[in-house]
Structure 1
Amino acid sequence: MTKQVFPFNVGYDCGNGAVKLKFSGHNQDLDFIRFPSYFVDVTKCHTDHQGKSRVTYVSGTDAKYNQELVGKTWVTGDDAAVLDIRDQVFENRSDGKVKLALPLFLSGVAQLPIKRKHWEFRLVGSVHDAEIYGDALKANLEGTHKVVIGGEETTIVIHVVKIFDEGFIFKPASTTNTTMMDIGNGTVILTRFNSEGSVLHRSNPYRFGVQHLYKKIYDHPTVRAIGLDRDIELIRKGVETSEDGKILYGVGKGSVNITPAYKESLKDWCDNYLKEPINQADKFKLSGDRVVVVGGGAMLPLLSKNFEKKGYVFNKQAPFMNVKKLHEYACNSLSSEAME
């Protein structure tokens, strides 16, 4: 008699800037996992790199891309960030999520606090344009994958339940319409919901995001003075770990205060990029909509205070709101979201 295997439920948000994952199952509700969307193939170099995200792909289903992974070893996230050569989802925006979704997911599994020789997952994911990329994303993820994690051969079976457009799965609870502005690393998307949580309108993704802000900071004269070996990853970390509005490039005695460069770059980025979606959100707000800001960009220093002054709604879980709802769908427990 075949033993029945109950799958873990997982929400998967493969963002341009960061991977967000939420797992649960077998009476365990695991914390969110978040790491930068970096990937480095270390098959022929850095063979001594033993980061927690290290995965070797042994065999998999017949999907063309999965066959290309056979025999390869990689690291992702912070493990990849310390290496000079790395791929990022953002660098190939047209199909970067399709290409890197499986390696990034498998590295996410490698970082789980529990280890198993056999995993089965019910996965619900999202992509910025599900009509164009949803089927390919599903094909690359789905199936049986044999990998080596932590020196142990592990079988990972993925059942893809559904791939949503980013932001489409929200069911905001409100007595009015809700306009949700999702400020991601590579895109900004506006989605408008009625009071019952049904989608009224979804904008085409604006092809810019927080990564463009980081590039402006990188090119600022103050930061250029650091030298040619300056690292945009340290800029990202400085912004995400800022305290009292102070942003440092690096840590310790050698760190550089780049707060003035950040403020100037933020203003320029808002004027040249974010102005259009904000104007559109404000029009909906004048019509009585509540405007909710989600995504990593919702928490940018100074910008979040401006949003508060405008009466926009957001919370400290803003970067995880999408993956939270994807996970709920995987668990068949999708609920309305207060978002207060």
Structure 2
Amino acid sequence: MGKNSQNSQVNIPNQQLPNTGDKGTISDKNDPVKNPIKYPHNKIFYAGYNLGNDSVKLLVESFAPIRTASVVGYLQDENRSLLIPGSVEYQGWRLNNADISWNQTNKNTWLGGDNVLDAELKTLNRVYGNPTGKSEYSLHMFLSALALLEDKNGHRPNWRFKLAVSCHKPGLFSNIHKSLSGLHKVTLNGLSSEIEIEVVKTMPEGLGAAGEITSSKPKLAILDIGGGTTSVSHYQGSRPLLDKPEFYEKSGVLALYRTMLDSKQINGHPQGFTIDDVRIAVEAGMRDIVVNGQKLMEANPNKPGTERVKKGILLGEKTRFDITHIYVECLKNWLQAELKDACRKLAQLQDKGYTVYVIGGGSKLPLLSDQLKKDPYNFNIATNGLYADVEGLLKIAKK
């Protein structure tokens, strides 16, 4: 359960929900007394779960998908509220209902996902850069993602899951399966739950997406641009032609963000920006540039003689530092260097009659899709690229 699993237990606050609706608390609309989830106790929820380096994605049947940062911060020594969305107190585990007592050797409390980045915890544990991070934090991130789902939809005291999981490291499949499986006694956002998980399938990232893409040709190739890794897989219809995709390590979007962070303009900025600040700025897309309270205008190349609002990649919510020129230059270099081998492989497949689709978080990068659609690439951008893998995993879980 992680290197901090032996730390002392944090006392659970009284199960009284604040009704302020402020950030960091559970709002009235999610009060389980006022708005309970009306499902039978024994209902099975099918779900797809993608363990990414940069973010995890959880798609539970009947709910909107959850995507959140792959980072965990332990709360034992932090004296923090367990009502922050994404917080978990782990109280015990048992393999199945035949077990009489709960195994409590792994008691722990943590906060997982995007809210960790605002919590200013002393230590952050990231999946990326940790060779066993995806197995070590697979349960942590699943439970935190579920806590975020409950924050949006209301609390449920019992969950039963049939779960299909994807990860880019087949060597970790067994440990991930063991970590997730069984009955887990927890509190999510300060509310008690018992969660039963049956892992029905663990498979390489990207394979779930094949059934979610409609191609006019029987031969399909998929470029999955993830946070830490990029992969290429190819199919005859939805049948994979390889046991696992070809992975290109350390060529994902985080490599782009790190290059941007190392640029003189960002690295030397007095604000002290982090890689998470860069990620947030890029994922926000092209936004209106405002100077002294006025939107900056520029000539509109599509309609000569008119103007349009100038847009850019803006770093920092307060500074709104325009880093568009840095992003454009780093994007070009990343595409030509880090994605070179994957694109060369895809060009070979195109020569054999394959149609190429791009999925993953990287498929939604500003300006990138326009470049990949044109020569020399001529790729297709999947409309559901961000969640194509978990959508496919959900269907696999239901089989």
Name the Cα RMSD after superposition: 2.2
Shift of 1:48: 3.3
Shift of 1:168: 2.0
Instruction: Indicate the residue corresponding to 1:187 in structure 2.
Output: 229
Shift of 1:312: 1.1
For residues 199 and 68 of structure 1, the distance between their equivalents in structure 2, rounded to whole angstroms, comes to: 42
Instruction: Indicate the residue corresponding to 2:312 in structure 1.
Output: 246
User: What stretches of structure 2 of length at least 5 have no aligned partner?
Assistant: 1-39, 96-101, 288-310
1:142 aligns with 2:207: no
> Given residue 247 of structure 2, which amino acid in structure 1 is its aligned partner?
P
Deviates more, 1:233-242 or 1:258-267: 258-267
Instruction: Indicate the residue corresponding to 1:218 in structure 2.
Output: 261
Contact 2:92 2:184 in 1 (8 A): yes
Instruction: Indicate the residue corresponding to 1:335 in structure 2.
Output: none
Instruction: Indicate the residue corresponding to 1:176 in structure 2.
Output: 218
Instruction: Indicate the residue corresponding to 2:384 in structure 1.
Output: 317
1:156 aligns with 2:201: no
For residues 213 and 258 of structure 1, the distance between their equivalents in structure 2, rounded to whole angstroms, comes to: 13
Contact 2:163 2:197 in 1 (8 A): yes
Shift of 1:6: 2.7
Alignment of 1:83-102 (within 5 A): 83-84=120-121, 85-92=123-130, 94-102=131-139
User: What stretches of structure 1 of length at least 5 have no aligned partner?
Assistant: 333-340
Query: What does the per-residue CA deviation read over 1:61-113, in whole Å, with 9 as the maximum and x for residues that have no partner?
Result: 37xxx979733211111211122531111121x21110111011011111221
Structure (1 or 2) with the larger CA radius of gyration: 2
Aligned length: 320
Please give the secondary structure, in 2, of the residue aligned with 1:21.
strand
Alignment of 1:23-172 (within 5 A): 23-24=60-61, 29-48=62-81, 50-61=83-94, 70-82=106-118, 83-84=120-121, 85-92=123-130, 94-112=131-149, 113-130=153-170, 132-169=171-208, 170-171=210-211, 172=213
> Given residue 214 of structure 1, which amino acid in structure 2 is its aligned partner?
Y
For residues 342 and 270 of structure 2, the distance between their equivalents in structure 1, rounded to whole angstroms, comes to: 34
Between the aligned residues of both structures, percent identity stands at: 28
Structure richer in helix, relative to its length: 1
Contact 1:299 1:316 in 2 (8 A): no
Instruction: Indicate the residue corresponding to 1:8 in structure 2.
Output: 45
Shift of 1:280: 1.0
Q: 1:203 to 1:8 in 2, by over 3 A?
A: closer
Deviates more, 1:80-89 or 1:139-148: 80-89
For residues 259 and 76 of structure 1, the distance between their equivalents in structure 2, rounded to whole angstroms, comes to: 30
Instruction: Indicate the residue corresponding to 2:59 in structure 1.
Output: 22
> Given residue 155 of structure 1, which amino acid in structure 2 is its aligned partner?
E
Instruction: Indicate the residue corresponding to 2:398 in structure 1.
Output: 331
For residues 280 and 298 of structure 1, the distance between their equivalents in structure 2, rounded to whole angstroms, comes to: 18
Shift of 1:33: 0.7
1:229 aligns with 2:272: yes
Task: Give the TM-score normalised by structure 2.
Answer: 0.76
Contact 1:220 1:265 in 2 (8 A): no
Please give the secondary structure, in 2, of the residue aligned with 1:78.
coil
Shift of 1:14: 1.3
